[in-house]
Structure 1
């Protein structure tokens, strides 16, 4: 008795191997609906294999560090250097050695929904997570580059476990911990990618909370970046304590 298209779909959902006999049988099924299901399965399977390969490739820096005897490897990254408002946020993440988070990459390459999904997966696969938050007031005092380093150091201090090795995205920190600075590290190291997602989601949620308090600035949409809407809102409603007064577009409005 021939299976219905719906039954074929349900059975295909259970298959994990490209050489499964049922998949081979479906390939010879003349029904258009079944062929579309096979094509969809193959596309999903190929993407999963690509994600798996990418994930293991992105563990190369972690593997090198472990070969040198390091155990607690923290990835560190920040978000929020460019916005005109809001804090700069850094995250330090120590992942379990046997973690598996295929598809994880630089937070900028992920949609908001995917970042939220990976945020939860990272928490499940992490031994420890630390967060560092530096306010606009401090950013104005020390400049954004120094504030970024302060945020990263704060994230390390926020960890319960003391890392013995750091993987950083194009940064060096003056801390007594062995470290490696990787150009475009958030797309090359799983641990740095994890920290970029944690930092991004944390900061975005802070900006969305701020949006509820002062909705006229639209922080929930632009996260503090200098969009036309944001610039117009600053002209109309003024500069707040959440704005970075040392940044040119904000400073120019204060000078008017």
Structure 2
């Protein structure tokens, strides 16, 4: 089972984002505070779970968490501040909404912008190591998937219901044939060879 905490004796929140490498759609992030003695053997990095398991676990996380929230940053905002800063902003927006104030933050990845002077630690592949980050990865992924599924009904030619806005061959082909939508991130190299131009 994943680890329950990084900091000893502090109210700890785990954060993760979804959609950073996409060509289209908002970036989502979640913040989750779990009970100190929480156990759930099924919790894991959302990328290692089936969609059915992710949605089952989302309901369990929302039921069991001390507090949880989801933050969103739009494609327009991404184009203004770049995707890295947008990821941090989405996490901060999730943290802003928590009904319980955390005392420390753990974040998936290797970079983070400090939040309200709270101590924080970045953990590479943290969504496969800590329960609260795994929980955040599941919430961010499922809420973003819901959003992309809704957009796919408006723009079916881009296959967003399958690729969730990521740069698949079918998605890039649709861009070349139909152009971009208001939901595409203009600061990315949308057609290229599938490699994104990220303004880091």
Q: 1:182: which partner in 2?
A: 123
Query: In the aligned structure 2, how far is the partner of 1:145 from the partner of 1:242?
Result: 18
Q: Deviations over 1:4-39 (max 9, x none)?
A: xxxxxxxxxxxxxxxxxxxxxxxxxxxxxxxxxxxx
- 2:176–2:191 CA contact under 8 A, matched in 1: no
Q: 1:24: which partner in 2?
A: none
Counterpart of 1:224 (choices 165, 169, 185) is 165
The ranges of structure 1 where at least 4 consecutive aligned residues each deviate by more than 6 angstroms after the TM superposition are: none
- 1:76–1:92 CA contact under 8 A, matched in 2: yes
Q: 1:99: which partner in 2?
A: 38
Query: In the aligned structure 2, how far is the partner of 1:173 from the partner of 1:186?
Result: 18
Q: 2:186: which partner in 1?
A: 245
Query: In the aligned structure 1, how far is the partner of 2:58 from the partner of 2:29?
Result: 14
- Give ranges in structure 1 of 5+ residues lacking alignment: 1-53
Matched, 1:173 2:113: yes
Q: Deviations over 1:41-91 (max 9, x none)?
A: xxxxxxxxxxxxx24xx22xx1x52x3x31x21100001111100011100
- Give ranges in structure 2 of 5+ residues lacking alignment: 194-200
Q: Matched residue pairs, number? A: 191
Per-residue deviation at 1:218? 1.3
Structure 1's 133 and 251: CA in aligned 2 closer, same or farther, altered over 3 A? farther
Root mean square deviation of aligned Cα:
1.6
Q: 1:214: which partner in 2?
A: 155
Query: In the aligned structure 2, how far is the partner of 1:135 from the partner of 1:248?
Result: 17
- Which structure is higher in helix share? 1
Residue 67 of structure 2 aligns to a residue whose secondary structure is strand
Q: 1:156: which partner in 2?
A: 95
Per-residue deviation at 1:250? 5.1
Residue 187 of structure 2 aligns to a residue whose secondary structure is coil
Q: 2:84: which partner in 1?
A: 145
Larger RCO (CA under 8 A, 6+ residues apart) = 2
Residue 248 of structure 1 aligns to a residue whose secondary structure is coil
Query: In the aligned structure 2, how far is the partner of 1:196 from the partner of 1:220?
Result: 19
Question: Which deviates further from its counterpart, 240-249 or 228-237?
Answer: 228-237
